[in-house]
Amino acid sequence: VVLNTDELSYGGLGRLSFNQYIQRTNNR
């Protein structure tokens, strides 16, 4: 799982981007 684009999109928040990514995958 690559979160580089997600972190950059969120401004490099890291944990928040990771949680958001998990929620997105769960919604899918």
Predicted local distance difference test score (pLDDT) of residue 2:
56
Question: Two tokens at 20?
Answer: 């958001």
Tens digits of residue pLDDT in 1-28 = 555 565 555 555 556 667 777 787 877 6
| Whole-angstrom distance, CA of residue 20 vs CA of residue 28 | 12
Domain containing residue 25: 1-28
| Whole-angstrom distance, CA of residue 8 vs CA of residue 5 | 5
Domain count, the chain: 1
**pTM flag (> 0.75):** no
